[in-house]
Amino acid sequence: MSDRRKAHAHAIAEALLDLDPRAAAVEALLARCETRRLSPGEMLCREGEPGDVLYILLSGAVSVTAGDGPAAAEPVGRVEAPEVLGALALLDHTRRTATCTAVGPVELAVLDTETFAGLLRESSEEGSALRWLVLASLSRQLARTNARLAALSADR
């Protein structure tokens, strides 16, 4: 797993942080996570469930839907690795705002609430890497939301 972890760490550092020198810190962060694999069609999280873990999408992609119940779920988008999922629910102690389902085979790093909170407080390299990843993730989510709002406004 060490070679895979190192490869994932470099991909995450380059794609999400634009800072390859942080790859060692990301690798150390991934070492503190549990690895999980999903099969195509398997649900990662369901809208309305408590947000009790942070997901780092290492490989693969998930579809994102939102709405009241499976019949009313509207496609929101598709998220491809590398990406961070679920940070908002952990930061503000809310429920999941969307359902995420594996599009194909998916590999994830999973960080539980206690470890997440502890790392945010730590002055370690892993804590710093986590803070940068969360900020980068939330910034990208905000940018995508702004783009969707702009497109909706243009359609009026």
Rounded distance, CA 56 to CA 18, Å? 16
Choice among 82-86, 105-109, 145-149 with the minimum mean pLDDT:
145-149
- pLDDT per position as a tens digit, 35-81: 999 999 999 999 999 999 999 999 999 999 988 665 667 888 899 99
Say whether pTM exceeds 0.75. Answer: yes
The Cα–Cα gap between 98 and 35 comes to: 22
Positive or negative, the CA dihedral 111, 109, 17, 102 is negative
Q: Show the tokens assigned to 49.
A: 């469930």
Q: 18 pLDDT exceeds 70?
A: no
- Whether the pLDDT of residue 19 is over 60: the answer is no
Average pLDDT over residues 88-97: 89
Q: Choose among 141, 60, 63: nearest CA to 108.
A: 60
Structural domains of the chain, ranges and CATH numbers in brackets? 2-145 (2.60.120.10)
